[in-house]
Structure 1
Amino acid sequence: MSDRHRLHLGPIATPDRLLLGPGPSNAHPTVLKALARTPIGHLDPLYIDLMGEVQDLLRYAWQTENRLTIPMSGTGSAAMEATLANTVEPGDKVLVAVKGYFGLRLVDMAGRYRAEVATIERPWGEAFTLEEIEQALDSHRPAILAMVHAETSTGVCQPMEGIGELCRRYDCLLLLDTVTSLGAVPLHLDAWGVDLAYSCSQKGLSCPPGLGPFTMGERAEAKLASRSGKVPNWYLDVSLLNQYWGSNRVYHHTAPVNMNFGMREALRLLADEGLENAWRRHRLNAERLWTGLERLGLELHVPDHLRLPTLTTVRIPEDVDGKAFSLHLLNTHGIEVGGGLGALAGKVWRIGLMGYNSQPENVDLLLDLLETELPAFRQSAPVAAIA
């Protein structure tokens, strides 16, 4: 027997971090306590009751009556893939509205399920108009229109009014990414005519990463039921998962019970606060941040009317090494802010105010550090001051 990989380690010890980046955000202390409870079986009657509570609370958070609403056992990307795996058949036309990094991920995933993928694009920091979407639907006649509501890479919130009606007029499903909006930004899936949506546990819901909320409406269920063959992803096949999450409760996989403990508590806290109150809190704290950043002379990347309350992109001044300052915040103050992705790499910081972390004291702390310590990182600053 070889001991080459045998490590002698102490108990895990991680520092406290204030996560003000694009996610994850800090989990609520009540959620962390729930995660630490003794596991129970995934077919235990008590857990079966909890599953129903989680489903109902997810419907509330999304403002939907969708029967098939579940937390996927996997991160938000698993739920993202589930929307496509269950509804795309080879040769289906999928139109993806790309205005950032996660639109491109939808393109990649749809192609892997052998869809005929078409795209429309906007610069990273802008949103689509209703006219642009209608023109693309008329031109491509897709089976599915996939788009991102809250684009984490850019900080843009896509206006949704009228899009669902267009999708019905052109007989296509509307698939919506709500990863950075669920629980924090107004969402009205049924009123908007959204057929498929997914999210994550670690942002507006104040839970650690590990679950991917998923919901499917009647029109999407009908497309799933009319498939010519099996869903090509066994683990994400909701026709199988619904036998576990539906009334039959037939075993499918060993569910992450403790993660669902945490999800249940996170959604309970959201319901106790009330959706409109949570949406208002996120908006007020974001406006506090935006005002403070502009007061410091920093430029915001997204126009005011399209800004996400959960994720702000601020342009890095030309005379500042953005990565060096981010590392300084992390190593000196234990505060994480994100850098740019894709077309915005090296050009912006991404500041998250999501869920439990959307508090005025966190805004004021970050603004104070930007005011007092960012000047030392400008290239014109004395070397000794930076050191």
Structure 2
Amino acid sequence: MKARKLLMIPGPIEFEPEVLQAMGIPTTSHVAPDFIEIFGKSLELMREVWKSPKGQPFIVAGTGTLAMDMAAANLIEQGDNVLVISSGYFGKRFKDILDRYGANTTLLEAPLGETVPLEIIENELKHKQYKALTITHVDTSTGIIVDPKPIAQLAKKYNTLSILDGVCSVAGEELNQDEWELDIVLTASQKAIGVPPGLALLMVSEKAMQVWENRKTLVSNYYADWSNWLPIMRAYEERRPSYFGTPAVNLIVALETSLKIICKEGIEKRVKRHQSLAKAFRAAIASLNLTILPKTTEIAANTLTAVYYPEGIDGAALSSKMVDSNVIIAGGLLPEIKTTYFRIGHMGSVSPNDLLAVLGALERALSELGQPLEVGKSLQTFQNELLKAH
């Protein structure tokens, strides 16, 4: 029996063979000419993927949480008002980070399975001056997507910086940073970007850079301070050696490889692939009489799906049986309902065959646990939906 298991959690994901090969090359010097070229090219390719020719990219060794931390540390000073728009666990994490930097945070928390209505956001912006607002594009804990475009327009209207947590969306969901006038879009390497964990990636607008340059106090987080990283990014983009902290050399080689793959596929085509696979997968899940966590499909993400366990099914037993079929899924993450649902990632290089394998394993697991279902129905539904899309 095949020993290797199919990793279908919402990050880390299954990586392209070329990306894994890039990880395995002998490590070179971080100031070697060939590496400087790779780093510089990676920064340029980020602008293509983010659709931000005017943006300032940052590539720093760390996680998605570091990317969030960098946004907060550099833009926020003691006493600044920040509006946090939350649709799950990671919205509230942003509040925790901002609080550490002395921000006066206001949390707008959506009811479970929903998003915060635009009129509530505007009402808050209308009655109080905020320096910044944060949006979680796709909350990995709930599988809910928020449309950042109208929120960014409101932020501009009320002279507020917009910070988008794109950890589970960049390179998988529709994004146009410059056109939508988002000030920061941040992500991590291990999700739809398609690189093993270890890189924090940010794109910062000219406006946000000006706000940072005009801050009155020193950035209190030494490692996160853009004063240390901006000269490095500029040097590499100009193909000059520079040093602040040793970059994650092999990860950056892998990043350039993956960004090239993304751009070769074409970002619009890639987003449409995610959309069509997610739509077909949700239809297949519904055919098994399973319910997704988002209350409507319009706010269901295309990079992962959060599904409630059927009544009477033990989550640990289901997950274990999936592993027996060589498929790894994720449990719930939202603390208050953690044991009631599971999550399946479908981003990056995911293919129809990957999701057929997931559905087959899920049907077998449910059947073995006594859940009544029509064997093969979800696979047929998935195939039919994909054929309709073509």
Q: TM-score, normalised on structure 2?
A: 0.90
Matched, 1:325 2:318: yes
| Structure 1 unmatched runs, 5+ | 1-14, 382-387
Structure 1 counterpart of 2:383: none
The SS at the match of 1:23 is coil
Tell me whether 1:250 sits opposite 2:238 in the alignment.
no
1:187 maps onto 2:137 in alignment: no
Please give the alpha-carbon distance, in whole angstroms, between the structure 2 residues aligned to 1:286 and 1:380: 24
Aligned counterpart, 1:352: 345
- Corresponding residue for 1:48? 36
1:20–1:335 contact (8 Å) kept in structure 2: yes
| Conserved 8 A contact 1:68-1:215 | yes
Please tell me whether the aligned partners of residues 59 and 200 of structure 2 are also in contact (alpha carbons under 8 angstroms): yes
Hey, what does 2:46 align to over in structure 1? 58
> Deviations for 1:95-118, whole angstroms, at most 9, x for unmatched residues?
101110000100100001111111
Aligned runs of 1:237-316 on 2, under 5 Å? 237-247=225-235, 249-302=241-294, 303-316=296-309
Query: Which position in structure 1 is the counterpart of 2:67?
Result: 79
Whole-angstrom CA distance in 2 between matches of 1:281 and 1:125 = 24
The residue type paired with residue 344 of structure 1 is: I
**Does 2:188 align with 1:200?**
yes
Q: How far off its partner does 1:291 sit?
A: 1.4
Partner secondary structure for residue 216 of structure 2: coil
Distance change in 2, residues 1:229/1:344 (3 Å) = same
SS in structure 1 of the partner of residue 31 of structure 2: coil
Q: Matches of 1:117 and 1:317 in 2, distance apart? A: 37
How many Å separate the matches in 1 of 2:365 and 2:343?
A: 18
Match in the other structure for 1:111? 99
Rounded to whole Å, the distance in 2 between the matches of 1:108 and 1:335 is 34
For residue 379 of structure 1, report the CA deviation from its aligned partner: 8.0
Number of aligned residues: 366
Counterpart-to-counterpart distance in 1, 2:276 and 2:200: 27
Q: Which position in structure 2 is the counterpart of 1:376?
A: 368
Verify the 8 A CA contact 1:202 1:209 in the aligned structure 2: yes
Counterparts of 2:48 and 2:57 in 1: how far apart (Å)? 11
User: Is 1:171 matched up with 2:166?
Assistant: no
Uncovered stretches (5+) of structure 2, i.e. residues with no partner:
374-390
Instruction: Please give the alpha-carbon distance, in whole angstroms, between the structure 2 residues aligned to 1:215 and 1:75.
Output: 15
Residue aligned with 1:162, SS: helix
Amino acid at match of 1:325: L
- CA separation in 2, counterparts of 1:374 and 1:66? 50
Q: Return structure 1 stretches of 4+ with deviation > 4 angstroms.
A: none
Instruction: Return closer, same or farther for 1:29/1:118 CA change in 2, 3 Å cut-off.
Output: same
5 Å-filtered alignment, 1:7-26, equals: 16-26=4-14
- Paired with 1:140 and 1:72, the residues of 2 have a C-alpha distance of 34
Matched residues in 1 for 2:202 and 2:135: separation? 15
State the distance in 2 between where 1:339 and 1:22 align: 10
Secondary structure of the 1:161 match is helix
8 Å Cα contact 1:91/1:116 also seen in 2: yes
CA offset at residue 23 of structure 1? 1.2
TM-score by length of 1: 0.91
Does the CA-based 8 Å contact 1:26-1:207 persist in structure 2?
Answer: no
CA drift of 1:31 comes to 0.1
Contact map agreement 2:285 2:291 (CA 8 A) in 1: yes
SS in 1 for 2:262: helix
Q: Which residue pairs with 1:6 in the alignment?
A: none
Q: Who is 1:363 aligned against?
A: 355
CA displacement at 1:380 relative to structure 2:
9.6
User: For 2:148, what is the secondary structure of its paired residue?
Assistant: coil
Identity of aligned residues (%): 32
Structure 1 residue 249 displacement after superposition: 4.6
* 1:159 is aligned to 2:147: yes
2:321 partner SS:
helix
Contact 2:322 2:365 in 1 (8 A): no
Contact persistence 1:25–1:354 (CA under 8 A): yes
